[in-house]
């Protein structure tokens, strides 16, 4: 195969990896691209942890496990990671009790690359070339191109796992806000909407305070749209820590109704990645929601714990709460310690900051 053709196939493999980074369903396309890169007849990627169940994806429709060399997956762990291993370099243990050639019957050549991610996941790529041993072999330049794709494969799988984990966490958090009539949105520095929860949908209709124009979040009034964009950029340029909300709220006017209240929080990310803000939208015309109830559900507190957290967030001292609740100061301190454990805080000031920066801050 000419080097120009290998370069083109390597480019297609890289393109497939990029598509896989944002769409897990594209993994079979990655296998197919790598199969074509080395002109193999069969290929598979196996992902999992050593000693545990693994998920195998084959490169061509209709392939079965029998189409690949019969090698114990657990035995692959004996292969040094980060390298491409050929039939000739497989450890004897991979051959099995029937001898070295038995597991490779029907294949002229085969190679395995084993990769490890930082969280202990193992990724094994197996490519095989049909035919009698010695009748043909992978082209050296194609294997070199395959080797250059391996770090990208490892990085892509590791990045996707982190992305999926954060996405799951984001969905869990955003869905929690739905209970309290709080719309949650993420927009970039130019106002383009990146994400919104279901509760935010009702705020994006005409007359509801906000609109989407060609993907950009704007206020219902043109003058307020300019102010909203300026507020987003001011928050990103401020010294406000990420995930903290400004005490000053933005009001989006609505005809015949009270303004929609917006709280804006920065997330600047890593250099070169982009800057974003989280916008929490609260509709004052919605039915009242009890702040203690919001605190209770958000932080998994019981009724007494949520009452104390709400009192402290409202400026009440521990001593005042103890007198009002008709309990001893020691009992109030024990209650506060339980709240610390559940909320991951260690000081009263940290607890108050957590409550005031969370969904309870949007409840009147």
How many other C-beta atoms are found inside a 10 Å radius of the C-beta of residue 268? 16
Q: CATH says 291-362 is which class? A: mainly alpha
Residue ranges of domains in the chain: 3-161, 179-282, 291-362
The count of C-alpha atoms lying within 13 angstroms of the C-alpha of 43, restricted to the half-sphere facing its C-beta, is: 23
Which pair of tokens denotes residue 224? 């307020």
Token couple for 172: 């869990």
DSSP 40: -
Domains 3-161 and 179-282 share a fold: yes
- Written as tens digits, the pLDDT of the chain (364 aa) is 677 888 899 999 999 988 888 787 888 888 889 988 988 887 888 887 766 655 666 655 445 444 555 444 555 566 777 778 776 555 554 444 444 334 445 667 778 888 888 777 888 888 877 766 556 678 889 889 998 888 888 888 888 877 777 777 777 776 666 666 678 899 999 999 988 887 888 888 777 889 999 999 999 888 899 999 999 999 999 998 887 877 778 888 888 888 888 889 998 876 666 789 999 888 877 766 677 888 888 888 999 999 999 888 878 889 999 998 889 999 999 999 999 999 989 988 888 888 877 777 666 5
Q: Mark out the alpha helices in the chain (DSSP H runs).
A: 3-22, 27-37, 140-178, 198-201, 222-237, 291-299, 303-313, 318-324, 329-343, 348-356
Class in CATH terms, 179-282: alpha beta
CATH number of 3-161: 3.30.450.270
In sequence order, the 6+-apart residues with CB closer than 8 A to the CB of 95 are 101, 102, 103
Q: Is 66 left (phi over 0), alpha (psi -120 to 50) or beta?
A: alpha
Instruction: Output the pTM of the full model.
Output: 0.54
Q: What is the distance between the alpha carbons of residues 83 and 95, in angstroms, rounded to a whole number?
A: 19
User: How far is the C-alpha of 159 from the C-alpha of 113, rounded, in Å?
Assistant: 19
């Amino acid at each position: 195969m000419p080097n120009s053709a290998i370069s083109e196939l390597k480019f297609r493999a890289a393109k497939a990896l990029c598509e896989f980074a944002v769409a897990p369903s594209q993994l079979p396309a990655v296998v197919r691209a790598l199969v074509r890169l080395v002109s193999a007849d069969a290929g598979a990627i196996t992902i999992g942890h050593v000693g545990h169940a693994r998920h195998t994806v084959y490169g061509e429709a209709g392939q079965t496990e029998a189409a690949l060399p019969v090698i114990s997956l657990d035995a692959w762990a004996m292969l040094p990671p980060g390298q491409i291993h050929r039939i000739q370099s497989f450890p004897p243990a991979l051959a099995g009790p029937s001898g070295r050639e038995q597991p490779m019957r029907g294949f002229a050549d085969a190679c395995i690359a084993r990769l490890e991610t930082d969280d202990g996941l193992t990724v094994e790529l197996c490519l095989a070339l049909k035919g009698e041993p010695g009748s043909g072999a992978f082209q050296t330049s194609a294997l070199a191109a395959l080797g250059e794709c391996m770090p990208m494969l490892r990085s892509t799988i590791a990045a996707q796992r982190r992305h999926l984990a954060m996405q799951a966490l984001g969905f869990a958090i955003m869905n929690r806000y739905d209970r309290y009539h709080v719309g949650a949105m993420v927009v970039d520095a130019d106002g383009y909407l990146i994400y919104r929860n279901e509760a935010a949908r009702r705020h994006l209709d005409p007359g509801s305070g906000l609109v989407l124009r060609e993907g950009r979040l704007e206020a219902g009034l043109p003058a307020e749209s300019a102010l909203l964009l300026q507020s987003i950029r001011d928050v990103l340029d401020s010294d406000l820590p990420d995930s903290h909300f400004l005490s000053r709220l933005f009001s989006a006017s609505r005809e015949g109704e009270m303004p929609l209240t917006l709280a804006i929080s920065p997330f600047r990310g890593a250099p070169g990645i982009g800057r974003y803000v989280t916008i929490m939208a609260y509709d004052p015309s919605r039915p009242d929601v009890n702040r203690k109830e919001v605190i209770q559900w958000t932080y998994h507190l019981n009724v007494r714990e949520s009452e104390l957290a709400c009192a402290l967030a409202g400026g009440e001292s521990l001593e005042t709460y103890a007198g009002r609740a008709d309990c001893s100061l020691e009992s109030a301190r024990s209650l506060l310690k339980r709240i610390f454990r559940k909320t991951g805080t260690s000081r009263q000031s940290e607890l108050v900051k957590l409550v005031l920066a969370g969904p309870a801050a949007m409840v009147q």
